[in-house]
Amino acid sequence: MQSDLRDFWQRLQTGVEVAVAGSNPEILLGVRDGFRRYLDNGAGRRVSVVVVPHPGEADEVPLRLSDEAVIRHVTQEVRRLREAAGDQYHFLVAADGGTHDLALPDGTHVFVQSWATLWSTVGEALGSSGSVEIPRRLIANLEESEGMRHLPGTRRQGGLIRSLTGGLETRRSAVAQATLHALSSLFYGVIESRPMRWSR
């Protein structure tokens, strides 16, 4: 197993090819940013990262209303990529955002975050971005049937995270963080960081 991992890592030294579910530019760039941050900072040198879009389900879908729904979606999309692309890419990635709620003594709080799942021949892992709370005053009057789809900025204006943070965070940066976290989980205990080398 260790030799297989070493061979896999050696294949990445000249560049990484990543198949990404969908064609949303912010998701594609976010996945690339996550890989570059992980590889550049860990390996101590720049490694080219090529992302290849694989359109599937429409990008402009209603915001999913639970972590479980988002994870189920991105996991299914990676499985679709495996059937379509096989092992011709180093990694297969799917990423998307959604909301989740948390019941606290003062009421229910609703957060938005992004999730990414990635697959390679050495394993599969999930990662998420940080959560941003949706101000309760914005959702207090929404009917249950509307969900979060009518909040400003959810899709066409750069994403709900961009709207909530005034552009300080974006869908792209959230996807990048989720991708970085998934890579970190996948290679934890296998690759030591700074500089990246194989654990013994």
| Distance separating alpha carbons of residues 97 and 114, to the nearest angstrom | 4
Each residue's pLDDT tens digit, 104-161: 998 889 999 999 999 998 899 999 999 999 998 887 765 544 545 556 555 555 678 8
Under 8 Å between Cβ of 112 and 134: yes
Looking at the domain assignment, is residue 116 inside a domain?
yes
Looking at the domain assignment, is residue 200 inside a domain?
no
Looking at the domain assignment, is residue 198 inside a domain?
no
Tell me the residue length of the chain: 200
H or E element at residue 26: helix 25-43
Mean pLDDT of 74-82: 94
Number of structural domains the chain divides into: 1
Looking at the domain assignment, is residue 66 inside a domain?
yes
Report the CATH number at residue 119.
3.90.950.10
pTM: 0.85
- Sequence-distant (≥ 6) Cβ neighbours of residue 47 within 8 angstroms: 12, 13, 14, 15, 16, 36, 39, 40
Looking at the domain assignment, is residue 111 inside a domain?
yes
Looking at the domain assignment, is residue 149 inside a domain?
yes
pLDDT tier for residue 40 given thresholds of 50, 70 and 90: confident
Core vs surface per residue 59-92: b (16+ CB within 10 A) or e: eeeebbbebebbbebbbebbbbbeeeeeeebbbb
Looking at the domain assignment, is residue 120 inside a domain?
yes
Query: How buried is 109 (Cβ within 10 angstroms: 0-12 exposed, 13-18 middle, 19+ buried)?
Result: middle
